[in-house]
Amino acid sequence: MSSSPIPSNVNVLPQTRQLLGLYSIIRDKNTSRSDFIFYSDRIIRLLVEEGLNQLPVTDKLVKTPTGAEFKGLAFEGKICGVSIMRAGESMEQGLRDCCRSVRIGKILIQRDEETAQPSLFYDKLPEDISSRFVFLLDPMLATGGSAMMAVEVLIARGVPQERILFLNLIASPEGIAAFAEKFPNVQIITGVIDDGLDENKWIQPGLGDFGDRYYCI
């Protein structure tokens, strides 16, 4: 994990032994596709739960079956997920597991392998997205180019930065720095910040191409 200072809008999951064990499995090049999916899904669930912890709440008083009153909490506002295709689609089920009937939007952004610059190809978002909290889903934050373009799409649709939470399994220090500087009010929820990018803009030590390992291999 990088030792660089972490911006205030970045939330890293507690580096427990359980979490490190899960990452050891999905980073291993010899891990089977079925195991990669299973253990990635466990991490995704943890990321979603942490994202939900960042949402505003209001006091709620309920009566229990014993007749007693319990002073609890209720979430304020509606949420939706937006996956950056295709790898981000792997995180949709984890969000659905935690939030019943959650609406899901999609954004397709492709990166030029030579320039590493992103291009927007497609987006389909809920019509009322401007009134929702948005969980932006993409497993890897490398240069940050695709994620920043996705946030620009959301802002153009009327979503305030403060209502966007970006969830990813692995982030690079370079991507974190670029993203946090441009969008200081977007919350980043990540599982781990790795050492950095290599000359090909791949995260190191990373885990390879997440989409290929989740869907193809």
Point out the residues that are catalytic: 111, 115, 209, 212
d(CA 91, CA 83): 8
d(CA 150, CA 166): 10
d(CA 69, CA 63): 4
Task: List 204's β-bridge partners, or say none.
Answer: 196
d(CA 88, CA 73): 30
3-state secondary structure 49-99: HHHHHCCCEEEEEEECCCCCEEEEEEECCEEEEEEEECHHHHHHHHHHHHC
d(CA 27, CA 204): 11
